[in-house]
Structure 1
Amino acid sequence: MIQRFFILCSGADASILETCSPGERNKYAGIGATVFFTAVMAFLAAGYALYTVFDNVYTALGFGLIWGLLIFNLDRFIVSTIKKRNSFRSEFLQATPRILLAVIIAVVISKPLEMKIFEKEIDRVLLEQKNEFTLANKNQIAQQYTPVVEDLEQDIANLKAEVATKEAETNALYDIYISEAEGTAGTMLLGKGPVYKEKREKHDAALLELRELKADNAERIAAIESQIQQLNTDYETAVTDSQPIIDGFDGLMARISALGELPWFPSFFIFLLFLAIETAPIVVKLLAPKGPYDFKLEEEESTVEAWVTQKVEQRQHIMATDAALNEKIYGEIREEERVYAHKKQKAEELLRLQADAFHELQVKSL
């Protein structure tokens, strides 16, 4: 039962193989088993690849099954269409397109399995890329907010500098009127005279202006700091909202790119393995000598070809003979006097009838 199934997978004619030796049936059963298990590997590879895309087991299994059946049908077609010939050159030329197709199939099958085999290494590469993307994303978003924040911080610094300047002026006026009172500057007279009083009033006025300036600038600084805090909040929100996109950077293309970051030799070795599996049935059929199955298949094909060729040639001869007979028969009829007289009599009767009908039509119209 299993042998029959694998023979079916090989695309060979089961009725012809039944008349061959057990060794010949085993050979084609082995070829069919290779085709079948290649399709199974294609199903697993496609299922994993599509799972990374859809993130749904049932969808991945459904599409993976369709892909596996497609690969099975292609491999079966490739193997079944290679016929043994008497020349290796003609056999190789016949198999060349099929080998190229087998290489493409091997690449398609091997890549998803490579991603599964090197999953941990790919996750490490993806983690490094995600960290780089996170830093780059923060810097890129910061470019939208940093200039505005720096301008606001400069406004705060200007307001504080304005208060500091006014405070320095007020302190200088304080030192002036104190020195006037002590007699160490100004009029050099000890005591609180008119000059002292005038300088004290200037200081008091400046102190009042300083207090008003501090209160006004404090409100403006508080408002600016509120804007800065809101901008910082918006920045954190933008970073938080964009982070899930970076965290989700683990799709099929990202994993293929990450696989390319790894050393090439292990991936190349796996590709060669699947290439060997995929091309094994073709290579076996090319290198193996003609067996009983090949001779019997060639006999059946040649029989059908000879029968069809014979039928075509017979039809051509029949058509040629029939044309010659018709030419001869109608040529003799043309020379027959009785046929000529009969044809003439019928033509005269037809003309008389046409003339009578035309005459009656003319009389009616009058």
Structure 2
Amino acid sequence: MNSIQHFFWWCAGVHKETLSRYPEEHSKYVSIGATIFFTGLFASLAGGYALYFVFSGNDNAIFYSLVFGLMWGLAIFNLDRYIVLSIDKNQNAFRQFLQALPRILLAVLIGLVISRPLELKIFDKEIQDYLRVEYLKKQQAAIDTLNRTFENKYAVEYGQLRALKVQADSLENDLKKARQALNHEIFGTKTDETSGVMGYGPYAKMKEANLKKQEVYLDTLRSRIQQKESLLSERKVREGIMAQKILTDRSLDSAINVAGFADRNAALSNLHKKADGSEDPSTKYAVIFITLLFVFFECLPVFVKLMSKKDVYDIAVNNQKAVHAFESTSDVDVEKNALNKLISQRTDVAIQRRLDKLSQMYEDQKNTN
């Protein structure tokens, strides 16, 4: 437990010798250090997971993700540690807030960055379902585009085919009417087109002969239509259009497994949109709340430091800084620097004067103490 405590103290960036003199502050800085550590740990997991999708399918994907995750986590850990250390508790509350404001904005940005990959993992099943539908739509759109391009390329042939089909449909309707008229003629039904005499007479024979001619011509039209369709189908095969097919379940699963970070990120952003154009607020708010959770978690070290009052440890550290600042800028040190400069210049009279002045300053400080 003592080792863990000292580790979290190190994460918080405290001066161990000074903090050890104030046991009442130990738990506080253990909590701050733990918060900084776990923020870096979450950042490492998120960064590694994001890079895993970048190199998805590569044999070294796991190795790359581990290395990048470690580097990203250490970078965020070091940045958070600096943010907490740089807040001066000896300033008033407003100055502390102004001092921490740029760091809070930076923490918000980091929170947004590290939350996205973990959100992708949380909504992985929903993202896969969304990508399945989107890939099918894209494949169907690609097939439709190729077919339209092919039809535009062979517009003349398609025009001839449509004309033949229209002619064949019209002739088939005429044949239905001709068969009906032949039946009326044979059974003696009186109409504008029949004699009204029952039996297979000359009018019935004439109508039957005309009907057979039309049937022969219809067979010729159908043969020409079939030839034209076969020709167009061969050209489709030759140009590779027939090779474009709707993705099977296995193909969809393979495409989803190798989907990149951009596709998954776009899918996550559109999860709340339904097929009919409406929105699902529950999914939308769930993504927002998870993002806010990570942003708050990233900002937590700064908030803890801001909310904590100035304690005895802060006072002790501030006093030590003041002593060091005085020692580094005292008149004695200034005189020492000047003396060293004169010695380097070999000016004997000036050296003696400086030595006398320095001795007097030591005496004065000694009497003062």
Q: How many residues align?
A: 278
1:235 corresponds, among 241, 259, 262, to: 241
TM-score (norm 2): 0.64
Aligned residue identity for 2:267: A
Amino acid at match of 1:52: F
The 1-side partners of 2:265 and 2:162 are apart by: 52
Matches within 5 A, 1:123-138: 123-138=128-143
3-state DSSP of counterpart to 1:237: coil
Note the C-alpha offset of 1:5. Answer: 0.9
**Residues 313 and 88 of structure 1: is their aligned pair in 2 closer, same or farther, counting only changes over 3 Å?**
farther
Between Structure 1 and Structure 2, the one with more helix by share is 1
Which residue is equivalent to 1:280? 300
Out of 236, 255, 266, the position equivalent to 2:286 is 266
Contact 2:136–2:246 at 8 Å: present in 1 too?
no
Match of 1:18 among 17, 20, 36: 20
**Equivalent in the alignment of 2:119:** 114
**Which structure has the bigger radius of gyration?**
1
Q: Give, as a single letter, the amino acid of the residue that structure 1 aligns with 2:13.
A: G
How do residues 141-290 of structure 1 correspond to structure 2 at under 5 angstroms? 141-155=146-160, 224-233=228-237, 234-238=240-244, 247=255, 250-261=259-270, 262=272, 263-290=283-310
Counterpart AA for 2:235: L
Distance (Å, rounded) in 2 between the aligned partners of 1:159 and 1:95: 80
Hey, what's the Cα distance between the residues in 2 that align with 1:66 and 1:316?
44
Q: Contact conserved, 1:145 with 1:231, CA < 8 A, in 2?
A: no
Cα distance in 2, alignment partners of residues 146 and 288 from structure 1: 74
Contact 1:137 1:239 in 2 (8 A): no
Structure 2, unaligned runs of 5 or more: 172-215, 273-282, 351-369
Per the alignment, residue 94 of structure 1 pairs with 99
CA RMSD of aligned residues (A): 3.8
TM-score for the superposition, normalised by structure 1: 0.65
2:83 maps to what in 1?
78
Quote how far apart the aligned CAs of 1:308 are: 1.5
Match of 1:303 in 2: 323
Distance 1:156 1:27, change over 3 A: closer
Q: Using the alignment, how far apart are the partners of 1:130 and 1:273 within structure 2?
A: 32
**Counterpart contact for 2:140–2:246, Cα < 8 Å:** no
* Distance in structure 1 (CA, Å) of the matches to 2:101 and 2:159: 74
Partner of 2:52: 51
Task: Give the AA of the match of 2:232.
Answer: I
TM-aligned CA distance change 1:152 to 1:16, over 3 Å:
same
Taking a change above 3 Å as real, the CA distance of residues 309 and 229 of structure 1, as seen in their structure-2 partners, is same
1:317 Cα deviation from its structure 2 partner: 7.6
Q: 1:149 to 1:77 in 2, by over 3 A?
A: same
Residue aligned with 2:22, SS: coil
CA distance in 2, matches of 1:272, 1:285: 20
Question: Displacement of 1:68 after TM fit?
Answer: 1.0
CA contact (8 A) 2:151 2:158 kept: no
Which of residues 309, 313, 322 in structure 2 aligns to 1:293?
313
Q: Does 1:7 align with 2:45?
A: no
Percent of pairs identical after alignment? 35
Q: Distance in 2 between matches of 1:86 and 1:45?
A: 35
* 2:14 counterpart SS class: coil
Instruction: Give the 5 Å matches for 1:321-360.
Output: none
Please give the per-residue CA displacement for 1:237-274, whole angstroms capped at 9, x wherever unaligned: 25579x88x94683212222222222431122112222
Residue 33 (structure 1) aligned with residue 9 (structure 2): no
Q: Deviations over 1:309-366 (max 9, x none)?
A: 21565468869999xxx8x99xxxxxxxxxxxxxxxxxxxxxxxxxxxxxxxxxxxxx
- Distance in 2 separating the partners of 1:310 and 1:318: 14
Counterpart position of 2:356: none
